[in-house]
Amino acid sequence: KTMNWKTIFNPFEKFDDKHILAVGIIFFILNFFGCFYAEMINDSIFHLSILEEEQTIWDVVKINSLSYIFAIVVLLILAKFINKRTRIIDIINTVLISQIPLIITMPMMVLPFIKEANVNIAKSAGNIAKIEMTDLIIVAIAGCITLPFLVYSFVLFFNGFKTATNIKKWQHIVAFVVVSLIITIISQTIL
């Protein structure tokens, strides 16, 4: 099977769903260890938070799993509304595969100076006067490096959902974007 740009941005059309699921599960499990080592949690898809000091690997497993399950359940409901024949494996694959680019950026989050800058900014709790310029620059540069991965992650998320549901109407695309934002916000709030 040849690789091209379409395959890179939409692997869901090219590869067998069981192979995609296997790759997704491997990265899902790796994400537990990556998050724990980076002292972060996936409190929603597309969002990482700093792990509280007393949290264990099992807290990471629980919170990460719940955020993925929440996204899968809500997306499946939307998918069934758009196309009753949508398969659950396709929605699971959409969520799992779309997170891989973000998981790949995890080692960067472990770098001591980036981790320290993130913690310092989090400690300032919105008080801009307390934020050190160096910390701000470090976090901004790290953000610029991770931005393409975040964009690629969302492209995979959209293309996976589009392939799973066969959406064509702009109203369905808008509903998908709105629901995705709601999933991210609600998941961060409750987890």
Considering only CA atoms, which of 104, 101, 124, 100 is closest in space to residue 50?
124
Rounded CA-CA distance 152/146 in Å is 10
DSSP bridge pairs for 41: 49
Rounded CA-CA distance 119/93 in Å is 33
Considering only CA atoms, which of 30, 176, 25 is closest in space to residue 97?
25
pLDDT value of position 85: 96
Structure tokens that stand for 64 in this block: 């990460």
CB 97 within 8 A of CB 11: yes
Q: Quick one: average pLDDT of 168-191?
A: 91
Q: What is the pLDDT of residues 34-86, one digit of tens each?
A: 899 888 888 888 888 877 778 899 999 999 999 999 999 999 999 999 999 99
pLDDT value of position 3: 67
pLDDT confidence band for 1 (50 / 70 / 90): low
CB 101 within 8 A of CB 150: yes
In sequence order, what are the residues at sequence separation of 6 or more whose Cβ sits closer than 8 angstroms to the Cβ of residue 35? 41, 42, 48, 51, 60, 64, 106
In sequence order, what are the residues at sequence separation of 6 or more whose Cβ sits closer than 8 angstroms to the Cβ of residue 4? none
Considering only CA atoms, which of 48, 27, 54 is closest in space to residue 156?
27
Q: What is the pLDDT of residues 92-119, one digit of tens each?
A: 999 999 999 999 988 887 888 988 888 8
CB 74 within 8 A of CB 179: yes
CB 137 within 8 A of CB 114: no
Q: What is the pLDDT of residues 112-163, one digit of tens each?
A: 898 888 888 888 876 777 788 899 899 899 999 999 999 999 999 999 999 9
pLDDT value of position 2: 63
